[in-house]
Structure 1
Amino acid sequence: MAVIEISADGPITSIRLNRPDAMNAITNEMHNLLDKAFDDFAADTTQRIAVISGAGDRAFCAGSDLKDGIGKHYPRGGYAGLIERFDLSKPVIAAVDGFALGGGFELALACDLIIATNRASFGLPEPLVGAVALGGGLHRLPRQIGLKQAMGLILTSRRVSADEGYRMGFVNEVVPHDRLEETVSGYCKDILKGAPIAIEASKMTVQRGLSEDSLKEAMKAQESYPEFTTWRKSEDAIEGIKAFAKKRKPQWTGR
């Protein structure tokens, strides 16, 4: 049985963790397989969105499989092939059903959107086993929900529901488990309406801008961001204006 399953539906790549009996805990082998999956997704010009999910109804991902040992050297993309993939300009969606704990929560936080079911829950319980969350959660969580809320989760190792995650701001939407696929599909359809080059420029401008010292510096610097510059000179930027003027549907080329 393949420990991860990869499939494509038009421009959407689905990556599914496939160890339901182990709550989709990530092994050292899976880090490398996920890294290759995201490499392939990034390089394939026909693919525009990646959706990552977990098999079964118990867990999205319960983090690292401690029986397999804790990896000391992760692939280029970092933990799960995604945590340190800061150059991935295409949108990635986490479809979370069940537990997203430890590295599983960190994997979800590294995605651009988190769509969760009402039976999903999130937490960084590493201190309970004498460990520290090393997959970016200690840095992403305070950036996404604020320092005090993040410290409350990090220091207590508490697990929070999807509804609480939505209230805190790291979950985009909470739905019944039987509507997860439909809801994720709706987000994908809306994203696909936009020009690929504009979507990618928007994502990377946000990401790069957050690293600037101030809003003023971010506004000034965006003109120099590679993705922003590419969008400025793109055929799709011209096509969007033409289509709007002629009241027709735009024909995006991704160029």
Structure 2
Amino acid sequence: MESVVHYESEDAVAVVTMHRPRVMNAIDLALRTQLQEALVRADSDPGVGVVVLTGAGGNFCAGRDLKAALRGEPAFASRDAQLAWFNRTSIVKPLIAAVEGYCLAGGFELALSCDLIVAGSGAQFGLPEVVHGQVAIGGGLFRLPQRMPYHAAMRLALTGERVSAEQMQSWGVVGRVCEPGGAVAGARELARRIMSNAPAAVRASKAIVRRTHDFVTEANAWEAQLPFAQQAQDSGESRRGLEAFAARSGKDAS
């Protein structure tokens, strides 16, 4: 299998890079599988204190590979893989998203799964699923209202518009905005600050903060959201949206 996730570790910081730059690191089955493996590897490595997740080629991630979806490729290799996906479970160690360029749809949901977000000033965030007749069921719709004002979350969910890193920082979702291209360096600096503290206390603090929401909302939200999303899927708009996207992409490529 082609390597579409790169892994490097230096000074106790593991940098995991999604590496499908030609498609803005869109998530296909291979990337999803290798990303999970890389994060588990970092989490189990005693020499790693903090993990940074980023994307190659000037973009974080544009979401799921819709062309792969149209070909019938499953999102996950199995139900067990779906339940173990870090987007649901996270990892024990602190995880920082270093975002440049596009951070959209499932890519934005990956960033929201991280504990902290550092972004380059040119980054753009959004959940454009509604534009394509889809529903964001990767956690974004119930995590956004936990991390930002309700009406701002609703704006992103219903319009599908893209917003800047600076706007996301004003809403409290992005912790730091760096110069373009500086997100990984900014994330490394933040990682060093975290690692200056006691590792066990850091891990315990992360666990407690995450479970504050898990116990109240997220544990039930995964299944509770599905009937609402299924109505949209059954309407036929989902397939038409995917076909329209594929047609536009084909024209752009030619």
State TM-score, norm by structure 1: 0.77
Equivalence for 1:248: none
Per-residue deviation at 1:64? Answer: 0.6
Relative to 1, partners in 2 of residues 1:79 and 1:169: Cα closer, same or farther, differing over 3 Å? farther
Runs of 4 or more above 4 Å deviation: 74-80
Match of 1:155 among 155, 158, 181: 158
Per-residue deviation at 1:116? Answer: 0.4
Equivalence for 2:148: 145
Equivalence for 2:179: 176
Q: Secondary structure at the match of 2:185?
A: helix
2:126–2:156 contact (8 Å) kept in structure 1: yes
> Which consecutive residues of structure 1, in runs of 5 or more, have no partner in the other structure?
214-255
Structure 2 residue 83 is matched with structure 1 residue 82: no
1:113–1:172 contact (8 Å) kept in structure 2: yes
Relative to 1, partners in 2 of residues 1:207 and 1:9: Cα closer, same or farther, differing over 3 Å? same
Equivalence for 2:67: 67
> Which consecutive residues of structure 2, in runs of 5 or more, have no partner in the other structure?
217-254
Residues 5-24 of structure 1 aligned to structure 2 (within 5 Å):
5-24=6-25
Equivalence for 2:228: none
2:117–2:176 contact (8 Å) kept in structure 1: yes
More helix by share: 2
Distance of 1:153 and 1:206 partners within structure 2: 24
Equivalence for 1:112: 115
Report the AA paired with residue 93 of structure 1: I
Per-residue deviation at 1:114? Answer: 0.5
1:115–1:180 contact (8 Å) kept in structure 2: yes
Relative to 1, partners in 2 of residues 1:123 and 1:169: Cα closer, same or farther, differing over 3 Å? same
Equivalence for 1:100: 103
Relative to 1, partners in 2 of residues 1:121 and 1:6: Cα closer, same or farther, differing over 3 Å? same
| Bigger relative contact order, structure 1 or 2 (CA pairs below 8 A, ≥6 apart) | 2
Distance of 2:44 and 2:134 partners within structure 1: 35
Distance of 2:4 and 2:75 partners within structure 1: 21
Distance of 2:155 and 2:184 partners within structure 1: 31
Distance of 1:71 and 1:161 partners within structure 2: 31
Per-residue deviation at 1:151? Answer: 0.7
Relative to 1, partners in 2 of residues 1:173 and 1:79: Cα closer, same or farther, differing over 3 Å? farther
Report the AA paired with residue 90 of structure 1: K
Deviation digits for residues 77-124 of structure 1 (CA, Å, limit 9, x no counterpart): 6499421124x2210000000000000000000001100011000000
Per-residue deviation at 1:31? Answer: 1.0
State TM-score, norm by structure 2: 0.78
User: Which structure would you say has the larger Rg?
Assistant: 1
Report the AA paired with residue 66 of structure 1: L
Per-residue deviation at 1:193? Answer: 0.3
Q: Provide the identity percentage.
A: 37
Deviation digits for residues 44-74 of structure 1 (CA, Å, limit 9, x no counterpart): 22211110111112x2100011111163546
Equivalence for 2:131: 128
Relative to 1, partners in 2 of residues 1:72 and 1:23: Cα closer, same or farther, differing over 3 Å? closer
Distance of 2:200 and 2:152 partners within structure 1: 35
Per-residue deviation at 1:168? Answer: 1.0
Equivalence for 1:238: none
Per-residue deviation at 1:180? Answer: 2.5
Relative to 1, partners in 2 of residues 1:16 and 1:52: Cα closer, same or farther, differing over 3 Å? same
Match of 2:195 among 192, 199, 205: 192
Deviation digits for residues 176-235 of structure 1 (CA, Å, limit 9, x no counterpart): 11433332221011011011101000111111233456xxxxxxxxxxxxxxxxxxxxxx
